[in-house]
Structure 1
Amino acid sequence: MNEHDLIQSVRSKVDIVDVISSYIPLVQKGKNYFGVCPFHDDTNPSMSVSRSLQIYKCFSCGASGNVFNFVMDYEHITFKEALELLAKKAGIEVKGLKLKKENTQNEPYYKMYELALKFYQNNLNTSFGHDAKEYLKKRKIDDDVIKEFDIGLSLTSMDSLVKLLTDKGYSLDTLDKLGLASNEHDTYINRIMFPLWDLNGRVVGFSGRIYDNSKLNKYLNTKETPIFKKGELLYHYHVAREEVRTKKYVIVMEGFMDVIRASTIGYRNVVALMGTAMTKEQANLIKRLSNDVILCFDGDDAGRHATLVNGEELIQLGLNPKVIALENDYDPDTYIIDQGKERFDALVENAIYYSDFKIQSLKKDVNMNSDIDKANYINQVISEAAKINDEIRVEIILKNLAKEFDISYNTLEKRLQDVKEKAEIKPDKKEVETLPSKEKPRRSKYDLAAMAIIYYMLKSDKAIRLYRREELYFPTADERHLGSEIDYYRDTYGSLEVADLFTYFQDKKNLSSLLTEVLSLNLKEEISDEELEEYADVIRSYRLNEEVKRLQKMIKEEVDPLQKAVLAERIRKLKMGVE
């Protein structure tokens, strides 16, 4: 089976509705299915999935494509990985298949970082790495962990990596741009090197840690580069993604050392923010991993604050995270070292809901001798309880408040209802901020005629024959390109399924976008020869008008009266239809 046939076979044997509904809930409305779009901050279902066409489209952000596109974008994986994943679902063997390599403009940068990684790894395993290995051993990082996380070492030399990479043909400007050099010197000098990966597991940065008594900053991280945007990545995502499928939940930590330590006791479904502040991009990545999220940050005040802030970010996305509250200012790394696997297992097993953690945190600053403080605290707790959908949990919270502060349960319940009613009246800020429907570009009658012909080229041979016979010249380059590609595809493969075109156009986003717009046209399924000819007449008139404009411009620029007369006569004949 060749590459095209295999891809087409996999696509045809998996149903897009079944696949997408395994990621997000879908509800049938008419012949299509609708769900909340996972590719933007969506609150109202704006993604439509067509079983008949085997494609999806979001009417807010414009995301569209076939089953491969959805899985690639949702999972943040390559086409090859999406093909393998869906082939497994379809029970089709793809082992040994060699797909065309996906080249990107950033490919040289990935290769550069791969060379740097191998260089650092090799350094650690030479005599230069003795002290660094001893340090790691004291931190209870053994050879297996070093190998699993590709830990390496930068040398004391000021330019060892620069020499290696410039000898390989990379310029100093490129090294500086990618954060590997500065002023012709290595960025990282005498540091233990921890690689940072992108969502697909490619090395895109480093964090270098001092291990001697240097007074330099403990950690030095790669700056923002064309391939490293810290706020758009999660450390260990590419590994956690597979583990989460099995364990069904994800643990979010602050630093990569926390993740490394957790992995040593069997927790590979763990990611790190590489900081305390969670970006919207990171929150969406976490949501795509799992709806069951456990936050495990440091046990100090900064860690508790990070838990509260990041918990709110996840709540805004409709998640109900749980929290592991570490004691005695522990961070996850040192807690696991000191207390061991069983104690950490118990913390995971008994993680509390974020709302309960927040209520506990609110109480820390309450002056129990102040009636005002107590009243404010009670109102804050009731506001949190109003967000909880579990009636039993809400009742427990209210009963605890009633008992602790000697207040009537009925009073608290009435206050809860008041808060809920106000919340219903208040406009939903999140809904206001939701992306507006993506505006369609204004189209001329010529564009609409071209798009209509393309629409019917997808459905009937007679439209294809008309396109070929008349050599129709569409108004825009994208329309001409799309028409030509559809004609070529039909001629090459003998048949055409719309969903397969999205795979065919995976490297041509402009054509995929135009194809989506064409499919959104409110046109009837069947068209007569006469109606098709009417669309063709509009395209012919476009070409005629363009030729007239060209000749009129030539007349303006022409100085010879006789030549002007010749051009004017050509225009007259064109308009009469005799030329």
Structure 2
Amino acid sequence: MIPQDKVQEILNKADIVDVISSYIPLTQKGKNFVCVCPFHDDSRPSMSVSQDKQIFKCFSCGAGGNAITFVQKYNNISFQEACKIVADKVGVNFEIRGPRQQTYSKDVVDQHALLKDVKEYAVNELAASTNEDLKSYVASRFDTESVKSFYIGYVGDSQALLRFLQAKGHSEEAIAQSNVFNVEGRSFLQDRIIFPLNDTKGNTVGFSARTYKVNDNIKYINSAESEVFKKGSILFNYDRAFQVARQSKEVIVVEGYMDAIKLAKVGHENVVALMGTAMAKDQVYALKRMNVPVNLCLDGDAPGKEAALKHYWTLKDAGLDVKMTALPLGMDPDELINKQPEVFEQELQRASNIIDFRLADVPTLEDFEIKHTWAINCLKDLKGLDNPLAEDHYFALIGDKVGFSKEALQRSYAQLQAVEKEATVKVQKQQSKNRITRWSPKQVKINLAVKDKMNYRQELQKNFDRLKGDEKVVAFNARQICDRKDVMSQYLDQKGKVLETTITLTTNDDVTCLAQGIAETAAMQISKELSIPKSNLEYIAFLHKDTKFPHIHLQCYQKETFKDNYELSTKLVESLQNEISKEITKTITQPQVVASVKI
């Protein structure tokens, strides 16, 4: 248990803007900072960071807290570990003592323990095996250090593994949930080489099993999805590569774990593997958490090149710096390192942008349509780079490859820009029909009601539970985004009567980033108009997005009874409308200033 005064000392010395901007870029908007939320699939800034209150809130996914909890969630670590990181940043002496904080359910803990035992069993069985074909295959593919570092193992007999797990005390239920065995008791690991798959914290959550037999048509079998194993969230070697990538300021992304193991063997330990050509959203988030440039080094065959071109823009759109390594046609990193290690190193160091990647692999250009399609794809990617000097440089190079003049390419490029501009204008016109740039009091609707002590069950059902699963409601107070437990606790602490102010905003725009400012402004105005000290006024607020127009239920109450009743008046309604409209106008018209990013 960390002493609260130590936590407070760390928070008092930390500036949340400095802490968060060391992980992701922040943009100043009014008195707060905003950013694309790293905790969900966010394409527009929905997270707000308050330097005054030293808190962050995302009004889309609900993430919120202080500098320490941001670091905890961003790095997927314990609270103690996050305290240590922030303390080191601000010069506070802090040491982690005692056992690590437990953040998993009992079922998940049991699965981690069981799968760890499977891993250790497989490692020991490989070391003790007398199977000459197996040992010959392993020796031809991996050195001793790789086998040890990546816990490569082998499972010979399913029943022997099952008896081992039972002897270790694992329950039948836990064994069944692990998906290591089918209903007949046979394991998909049987007579295969085993590669453990870890989550971001290094917990073994699944396995990939590879055949070592030449005549086996099924090369790989992966664990089935389970409570702990979600293939789309796993990047092979992520837990080992994280700190190395931060130190080397680059992470290399390959397709297969065989490629990753080979790169690590030759000194590139800052490598992760997708385990295929697809890249899932959770994998993108994991790469974002590394906060370093990405080097896409996928296979040199057609599917690998196609995937690399797709993932380049996926990662760029997520705000990552990306470059691409072009491997010789048909070769994967593992194969190229085995045959021509010096060529692989040259290509890896030569990694560049997407246009250079395309120029390194020009298809056979025998007819006009093929040349035209290739050139247009290059021009589209060039437009995405948004660099006038790059445009001038690459027009000549693209023209040389396909035989088009620089002038013809420039005209085609201008046509692409015109088409995109026309499409953008259409979207903007459509959006502007509903977008409000200057708010008037009439666009803010206010309803006031005084309630006795809240029935928390009714209020939770009405304002929270019914809509939480659909992400149509966010609960928050002056300090944080609230979960159900927080809301219930606040209801139970509430004394006396409650003034509920329903604030309806007549717009179809997304107002999630404005909700905090609106609630604070309304609470301040209620305090002023009703002569209640702001320090004595507490609130819980619900932003609802389930109706035609978004609205906020702001439930204010006094910490200690200062007034026996709330005086509802037209003057109060008008003052709320005026001040809220001013707050919204000020926020959405405020010039944006980009905060510096500290690495």
Task: Calculate the TM-score normalised by the size of structure 1.
Answer: 0.73
Q: Distance in 1 between matches of 2:458 and 2:66?
A: 20
- Indicate the residue corresponding to 1:161 in structure 2: 161
- Indicate the residue corresponding to 1:486 in structure 2: none
Following TM superposition, by how much is the alpha carbon of 1:246 offset from its aligned partner in structure 2, in angstroms? Answer: 0.9
Matched, 1:426 2:427: no
- Indicate the residue corresponding to 1:457 in structure 2: none
Following TM superposition, by how much is the alpha carbon of 1:242 offset from its aligned partner in structure 2, in angstroms? Answer: 0.7
Following TM superposition, by how much is the alpha carbon of 1:402 offset from its aligned partner in structure 2, in angstroms? Answer: 4.4
1:395-418 per-position Cα deviation (integer Å, ceiling 9, x unaligned): 122123445566553443233223
Q: Distance in 1 between matches of 2:84 and 2:457?
A: 34
- Indicate the residue corresponding to 1:136 in structure 2: 138
Select 1:521's aligned residue among 519, 522, 531: 519
Asked if the contact 2:246/2:292 (under 8 Å) is kept, the reply is no
The one-letter code of the counterpart of 1:146 is: V
Following TM superposition, by how much is the alpha carbon of 1:508 offset from its aligned partner in structure 2, in angstroms? Answer: 5.5
Following TM superposition, by how much is the alpha carbon of 1:271 offset from its aligned partner in structure 2, in angstroms? Answer: 0.7
Q: Distance in 2 between matches of 1:521 and 1:409?
A: 57
Q: Distance in 2 between matches of 1:247 and 1:228?
A: 29
Q: Distance in 1 between matches of 2:388 and 2:287?
A: 27
Asked if the contact 1:77/1:199 (under 8 Å) is kept, the reply is no
Asked if the contact 1:255/1:274 (under 8 Å) is kept, the reply is yes
Larger Rg: 1
The one-letter code of the counterpart of 1:61 is: C
Asked if the contact 1:280/1:313 (under 8 Å) is kept, the reply is no
- Indicate the residue corresponding to 2:440 in structure 1: none
Matched, 1:398 2:395: yes
Asked if the contact 1:244/1:290 (under 8 Å) is kept, the reply is no
Asked if the contact 2:197/2:234 (under 8 Å) is kept, the reply is no
Q: Distance in 1 between matches of 2:186 and 2:317?
A: 45
- Indicate the residue corresponding to 1:120 in structure 2: 122
Larger helix proportion of the pair:
1
Secondary structure of the structure 2 residue equivalent to 1:204: strand
Asked if the contact 2:200/2:239 (under 8 Å) is kept, the reply is yes
Asked if the contact 2:23/2:291 (under 8 Å) is kept, the reply is no
Secondary structure of the structure 2 residue equivalent to 1:215: coil
Q: Distance in 2 between matches of 1:428 and 1:133?
A: 64
Secondary structure of the structure 1 residue equivalent to 2:519: coil
The aligned runs of 1:350-365 (5 Å cut-off) are 350-358=350-358, 361=361, 363-365=362-364
The aligned runs of 1:179-218 (5 Å cut-off) are 179-183=179-183, 184-213=185-214, 215=216, 217-218=218-219
Asked if the contact 1:3/1:97 (under 8 Å) is kept, the reply is no
- Count of residues in correspondence between the two structures: 487
Distance 1:83 1:25, change over 3 A: same
1:433-456 per-position Cα deviation (integer Å, ceiling 9, x unaligned): 9xxxxxxxxx9967xx79xxxxxx
Following TM superposition, by how much is the alpha carbon of 1:286 offset from its aligned partner in structure 2, in angstroms? Answer: 1.9
Distance 1:251 1:513, change over 3 A: farther
Could you say which structure has the greater relative contact order, defined with CA pairs below 8 angstroms and 6 or more residues apart?
2
Asked if the contact 1:283/1:314 (under 8 Å) is kept, the reply is yes
Following TM superposition, by how much is the alpha carbon of 1:535 offset from its aligned partner in structure 2, in angstroms? Answer: 4.2
Matched, 1:18 2:18: yes
Matched, 1:224 2:225: yes
1:486-529 per-position Cα deviation (integer Å, ceiling 9, x unaligned): xxxxxxxxxxx987x88xx9995767999998897231186645
The one-letter code of the counterpart of 2:456 is: T
Distance 1:417 1:264, change over 3 A: same
Secondary structure of the structure 2 residue equivalent to 1:521: helix
- Indicate the residue corresponding to 2:38 in structure 1: 38
Asked if the contact 1:65/1:512 (under 8 Å) is kept, the reply is no
Q: Distance in 1 between matches of 2:563 and 2:225?
A: 48
Select 1:109's aligned residue among 85, 91, 111: 111
1:282-314 per-position Cα deviation (integer Å, ceiling 9, x unaligned): 223223323521111122223222222322422
Following TM superposition, by how much is the alpha carbon of 1:166 offset from its aligned partner in structure 2, in angstroms? Answer: 2.7
Matched, 1:174 2:170: no
Matched, 1:475 2:416: no
The one-letter code of the counterpart of 1:475 is: N
Following TM superposition, by how much is the alpha carbon of 1:250 offset from its aligned partner in structure 2, in angstroms? Answer: 1.0
The one-letter code of the counterpart of 1:35 is: C
Give structure 2 stretches of 5+ with no counterpart. 432-445, 461-476, 494-511, 538-555, 566-599
1:371-429 per-position Cα deviation (integer Å, ceiling 9, x unaligned): 44434443333223222222222112212344556655344323322322321332499
Give structure 1 stretches of 5+ with no counterpart. 434-442, 451-471, 481-496, 542-579
The list of structure 1 runs, each at least 4 consecutive aligned residues, that deviate by more than 6 angstroms after superposition, is: 428-433, 443-446, 509-520, 530-534, 537-541
Task: Calculate the TM-score normalised by the size of structure 2.
Answer: 0.71
- Indicate the residue corresponding to 1:252 in structure 2: 253
- Indicate the residue corresponding to 2:73 in structure 1: 73
Q: Distance in 2 between matches of 1:202 and 1:94?
A: 26
Q: CA RMSD in A?
A: 4.0
Following TM superposition, by how much is the alpha carbon of 1:227 offset from its aligned partner in structure 2, in angstroms? Answer: 0.4
Distance 1:356 1:509, change over 3 A: farther
Larger strand proportion of the pair:
2
Asked if the contact 2:79/2:101 (under 8 Å) is kept, the reply is no
1:144-199 per-position Cα deviation (integer Å, ceiling 9, x unaligned): 222211222212x2312222223344343432332111122333212221100001
The one-letter code of the counterpart of 1:5 is: D
1:189-235 per-position Cα deviation (integer Å, ceiling 9, x unaligned): 12221100001110000112222456262222111111000011211
The one-letter code of the counterpart of 2:454 is: F
The aligned runs of 1:339-378 (5 Å cut-off) are 339-340=340-341, 342-358=342-358, 361=361, 363-367=362-366, 370-378=367-375
Q: Distance in 1 between matches of 2:338 and 2:175?
A: 38
Following TM superposition, by how much is the alpha carbon of 1:131 offset from its aligned partner in structure 2, in angstroms? Answer: 5.6
- Indicate the residue corresponding to 2:55 in structure 1: 55
- Indicate the residue corresponding to 1:94 in structure 2: 94
